């Protein structure tokens, strides 16, 4: 069921999440404007399919108001661990209401009720502000995303070690950013996801031992799972260390049924993603030789 399609603002369009939402929207013919913090990011966002790009900073209310001018729907995702995240989100919602925005899709996080985890708890006040705003809304609750593994993959293959600062035994749900983007585009353009809250997770709950075995199978390189020593993260900000402690004891799990129901197809799997990384890694090595 398709709703009316006006101008869509994608906040953080140069980032990992909104950067994937922009082409997902553009491929469906949407009029999407990317909001970025730096002029040097503008060409890259236009290359992803944005119709326009505006400069804006969530800490600068005037620039947010300018970015929201004439906007019908907004995709909102805050930078990770940004200071005063909840207050900035509440201010964005208020500015969206003042600008006459009709719909907001908020990329929140799975389990925003985890009050001890700053990056989770800060999402709940923003969701509450949206619920109180009168805007049409969709809340997306993704789990850990596959692309986190992509950042360290070359080193993992080179060293044969997959190390993180929590137990190798705790289990996690994971999801591909591209599947999140597809759901977000549907939520912005169609009406059937309005007023919904959706956990987004691909099938399977894997711990680090499982991931190490998977990388070994796909690449033919023996990879073992290790835990980074506490000294390696001693200088990390306290919110991060609190998150590491939670992951060490509890992991982070969600159910995959919702994602595949919304997509109408099987979700991308971690094996799919690792296979893709392996091919990219091999191609990069061939190009370098």
Helical segments of the chain, H only: 18-26, 42-47, 61-68, 85-98, 118-121, 123-131, 147-159, 177-189, 208-219, 238-250, 257-263, 270-288
Q: Flag whether pLDDT at 1 surpasses 70.
A: no
Rounded (5°) CA angle 238-244-247: 145
pTM over 0.85: yes
pLDDT 10s digits, 210-240: 999 999 999 999 999 999 999 999 999 999 9
Q: Flag whether pLDDT at 283 surpasses 80.
A: no
Report the range of poorest mean pLDDT among 109-118, 236-245, 280-289.
Answer: 280-289
Confidence of residue 282 (pLDDT cuts 50, 70, 90): confident
The residue among 86, 102, 117, 74 whose CA lies nearest residue 243 is: 117
Superfamily of domain 8-146+175-201+253-267: NAD(P)-binding Rossmann-like Domain (3.40.50.720)
Average pLDDT, the chain: 95
b/e string for 240-249 if b means 16 or more Cβ within 10 A? beebbebbee
Domain boundaries, the chain: 8-146+175-201+253-267
pLDDT 10s digits, 174-200: 999 999 999 999 999 999 999 999 999
């Amino acid at each position: 069921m398709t709703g009316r399609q006006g101008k869509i603002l994608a906040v953080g369009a140069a980032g990992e999440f909104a950067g994937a939402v922009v082409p997902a929207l553009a491929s469906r013919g949407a009029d999407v404007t990317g909001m970025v913090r730096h002029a040097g990011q503008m060409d890259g966002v236009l290359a992803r399919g944005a119709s326009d790009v505006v400069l804006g900073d969530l800490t600068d209310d005037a620039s947010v108001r300018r970015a929201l001018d004439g906007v019908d729907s907004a995709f909102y995702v805050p930078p990770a661990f940004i200071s005063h995240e909840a207050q900035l989100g509440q201010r964005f919602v208020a500015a969206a209401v003042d600008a006459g925005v009709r719909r907001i899709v908020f990329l929140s996080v799975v389990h925003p009720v985890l009050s001890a985890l700053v990056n989770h708890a800060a999402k709940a006040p923003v969701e509450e502000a949206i619920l109180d705003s009168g805007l049409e809304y969709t809340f997306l609750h993704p789990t850990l995303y596959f692309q986190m593994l992509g950042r360290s993959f070359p080193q993992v293959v080179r060293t044969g070690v997959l190390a993180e600062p929590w137990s190798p035994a705790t289990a996690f749900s994971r999801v591909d950013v591209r599947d999140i983007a597809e759901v977000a585009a549907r939520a912005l353009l169609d009406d059937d996801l309005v007023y919904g809250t959706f956990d987004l997770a691909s099938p399977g709950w894997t711990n680090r031992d499982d991931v190490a075995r998977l990388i070994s199978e796909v690449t033919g390189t023996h990879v073992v799972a290790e835990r980074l020593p506490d000294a390696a993260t001693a200088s990390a900000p306290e919110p991060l260390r609190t998150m590491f402690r939670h992951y060490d004891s509890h992991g982070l799990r969600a159910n995959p049924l919702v994602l595949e129901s919304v997509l109408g197809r099987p979700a991308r799997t971690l094996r799919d993603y690792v296979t893709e990384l392996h091919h990219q890694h091999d191609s990069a090595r061939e190009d370098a030789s």
